[in-house]
C-alpha cells in the first residue's frame, strides 16, 4: 500500500473514534439529564450499537494488513498479475528522506507522433500488454524488461516514450542519465533505488532514462567511481523484477557502441528500436502534423524535399518560426516567404542574415548549389542497411558543400562545419564498427579528390543552379 493510503486510513480511523465518542457522550448526557423520559429498550439498543461500531473500527485497523489481500485492486493490470502469479512480489527498500523523483501523466498519444510507423508497430505490443495483460499472461508471455531507443538527437525518442505511457494511460517517470551523476558517493545509486521503488508502487508504469550513456558506459574495472556504482545499482534493480511485472524501462541513447555489455545482454534491454533521420515521406507527414489546423499557401511536398537532414525537432522549430514570421507580417496564412525566413534561422541562426556580405552570400549560394547537384546521394542517409559505396556517397554529400566552395573559390572556407563533423563520424564508424576502411584521414582525402574532380567537370551545371537559387531567393 502507498504511504498516502496508510495516512488516509489512520485519519479515517481517528474520525470514526471521535465521532463514536461524541455520540456516546450525547447518549450519556441524555441519560443523566432526562433519564425519566427514557422508556423501552431503544436507548440500550443504541448504546450496544455504538460500542459494536467502536469495536468494529478497532478491529478493522488492527487486521487491515490481513484484510488487504481480500479487497479488489484498483489496477486491472495488478489484478491480472495476482491471478497468474499470486505469490510473486517484488520489494524495494524505500528511503524515508524527501523524494526528488516525480511522477507525471503523459497526454501524448501515438497519433501525436508522425514519421515513425515502424517504431509504433514495435512499441504497440508493449502498450497492448499494459492494457490487456491477461491476453499474454495466459500463454506465459513476458513483457520486455527494457526497451532501448537508439538514434541521433532530435528524432523524438523522449516523445515516443511519452507516447507509450500516454497510450497505456500509466504513470510516467522521466530521468536523464546525467541526473544520476553526483559528486557524493552513493547518491546516484540511492536515486536509482528510489526511482524503481516509486515506479513499482504505482505500477503499471513507465520509466524513461534519457541519455543512458551518461551512466551506462563500459566499465573499466580499474576504479570504483560513483558512475560505476550507479550503473551496478541500475543493473540490480532491473534484475529485481521479472518480465511479467508492470514496470517498463525505456532508455534512449545515440551512442550504443559505448554502452556496457551488461546493459545490452538479454534479460535487461530485451528490445532495441533503431530510429533514423526522417525520409522525405516522413518529413512530409511530420510537417502535416505540425501544420494541422493552420493555413498555409506553400508546396508542402517541395518543402519536405528541401529539408533533407532535418529531424523532427528541427521541423517543429521551422513551423513555429514560420508562424512567428507570419504574425509579424500581420497575415493569417504561412507563405513561402515565412518558410524561407524560418529555414534561414534554423540553419544559420536568426542574426546571420544582417551580417552577410555579398561575397558571403555568394559562398552560401555555391555551397547550396553543389548540394542540390549532389542531391541524388542524400536518400542513402535514410536507409537502415547501407553498403560501403552508399556510405561513401553519404560522406560525399556531407562534404560536397565545403569542397565545392573550395574548388570554385580556389581556397577553403569555414562553412558547413556540422556536415563535415557528420562525415568524419560516419567514416570513423566505417573503420571502428564495420571494419570497411583502414584509415579515416586517407579515406576522407580520397573522397575529397573525387569530389573536386566531379565538381570541376560539372562546373557549368552547378553555376546554373546557383543562379536559379539566387533569383528565387532560396540562398537564405
Active centre residues (catalytic)? 360
d(CA 170, CA 168): 6
**The three-state (H, E, C) secondary structure of the chain, written as one string:** CCHHHHHHHHHHHHHHHHHHHHHHHHHHHHHHHCHHHCCCCHHHHHHHHHHHHHHHHHHHHHCHHHHHCCCCCCCHHHHHHHHHCCCCCCCCCCCCCCCCCCEEECCCCHHHCCCCHHHHHHHHHHHHHHHCHHHHHCCCCCCCCEEEEECCCCCCHHHHHHHHHHHHCCEEEEEEHHHHCCCCCCHHHHHHHHHHHHHHHCCCEEEEEECCHHHHECCCCCCCCHHHHHHHHHHHHHHCCCCCCCEEEEEEECCHHHECHHHHCCCCCCEEEECCCCCHHHHHHHHHHHCCCCCECCCHHHHHHHCCCCCHHHHHHHHHHHHHHHHHHCCCCECHHHHHHHHHHHHHCCCHHHHCCHHHHHHHHHHHHHHHHCHHHHHHHHCCCCCHHHHHHHHHHHHHHHHHHHHHHCCCCCCCHHHHHHHHHHHHHHHHCCCCCCCHHHHHHHHHHHHHHHHHHCHHHHHHHHHHHHHHCCCC
Residues 6 or more apart in contact with residue 302 via CB below 8 angstroms: none
d(CA 143, CA 383): 30
Residues 6 or more apart in contact with residue 56 via CB below 8 angstroms: none
d(CA 161, CA 150): 12
**Strand 271-274 to 247-253 pairing:** unpaired
Cβ atoms of 213 and 269 within 8 Å: the answer is no
Amino acid at each position: 500500500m502507498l504511504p498516502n493510503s496508510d495516512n488516509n486510513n489512520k485519519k479515517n480511523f481517528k474520525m470514526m473514534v471521535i465521532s463514536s465518542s461524541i455520540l456516546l457522550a450525547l447518549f450519556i448526557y441524555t441519560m443523566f439529564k432526562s433519564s425519566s423520559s427514557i422508556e423501552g429498550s431503544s436507548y440500550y439498543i443504541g448504546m450496544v450499537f455504538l460500542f459494536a461500531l467502536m469495536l468494529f473500527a478497532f478491529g478493522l485497523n488492527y487486521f487491515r494488513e490481513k484484510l488487504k489481500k481480500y479487497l479488489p485492486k484498483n489496477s486491472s493490470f495488478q489484478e491480472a498479475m495476482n491471478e497468474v502469479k499470486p505469490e510473486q512480489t517484488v520489494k524495494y527498500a524505500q528511503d524515508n528522506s524527501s523524494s526528488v523523483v516525480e511522477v507525471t501523466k503523459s497526454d501524448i498519444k501515438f497519433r501525436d507522433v508522425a514519421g515513425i510507423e515502424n517504431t509504433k508497430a514495435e512499441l504497440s505490443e508493449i502498450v497492448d500488454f499494459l492494457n490487456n495483460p491477461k491476453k499474454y499472461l495466459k500463454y506465459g508471455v513476458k513483457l520486455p524488461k527494457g526497451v532501448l531507443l537508439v538514434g541521433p538527437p532530435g528524432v523524438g525518442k523522449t516523445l515516443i516514450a511519452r507516447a507509450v505511457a500516454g497510450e497505456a494511460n500509466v504513470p510516467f517517470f522521466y530521468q536523464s542519465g546525467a541526473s544520476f551523476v553526483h559528486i557524493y558517493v552513493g547518491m546516484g545509486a540511492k536515486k536509482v533505488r528510489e526511482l524503481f521503488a516509486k515506479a513499482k508502487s504505482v505500477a503499471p508504469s513507465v520509466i524513461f532514462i534519457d541519455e543512458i550513456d551518461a551512466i551506462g558506459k563500459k566499465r573499466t574495472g580499474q576504479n570504483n567511481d560513483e558512475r560505476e556504482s550507479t550503473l551496478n545499482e541500475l543493473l540490480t534493480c532491473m534484475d529485481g523484477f521479472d518480465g511479467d511485472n508492470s514496470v517498463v524501462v525505456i532508455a534512449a541513447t545515440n551512442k550504443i557502441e559505448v554502452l556496457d555489455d551488461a546493459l545490452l545482454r538479454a534479460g535487461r534491454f530485451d528490445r532495441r528500436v533503431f530510429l533514423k533521420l526522417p525520409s522525405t515521406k516522413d518529413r512530409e507527414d511530420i510537417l502535416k502534423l505540425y501544420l494541422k489546423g493552420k493555413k498555409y499557401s506553400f508546396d508542402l511536398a517541395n518543402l519536405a524535399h528541401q529539408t533533407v537532414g532535418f529531424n523532427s525537432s528541427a521541423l517543429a522549430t521551422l513551423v513555429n518560426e514560420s508562424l512567428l514570421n507570419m504574425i509579424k507580417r500581420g497575415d493569417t496564412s504561412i507563405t513561402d516567404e515565412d518558410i524561407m525566413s524560418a529555414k534561414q534561422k534554423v540553419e544559420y541562426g536568426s542574426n546571420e542574415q544582417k551580417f552577410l556580405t555579398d561575397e558571403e552570400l555568394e559562398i552560401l549560394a555555391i555551397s547550396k548549389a553543389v548540394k542540390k547537384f549532389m542531391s541524388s546521394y542524400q536518400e542513402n542517409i535514410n536507409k537502415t542497411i547501407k553498403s560501403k559505396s552508399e556510405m561513401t556517397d553519404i560522406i560525399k554529400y556531407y562534404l560536397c558543400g565545403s569542397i565545392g566552395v573550395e574548388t570554385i573559390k580556389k581556397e577553403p572556407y569555414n562553412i558547413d562545419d556540422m556536415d563535415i563533423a557528420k562525415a568524419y563520424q560516419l567514416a570513423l564508424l566505417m573503420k571502428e564498427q564495420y571494419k570497411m576502411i583502414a584509415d579515416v584521414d586517407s579515406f576522407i582525402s580520397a573522397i575529397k579528390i573525387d569530389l573536386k574532380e566531379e565538381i570541376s567537370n560539372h562546373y557549368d551545371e552547378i553555376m546554373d543552379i546557383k543562379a536559379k537559387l539566387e533569383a528565387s531567393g532560396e540562398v537564405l
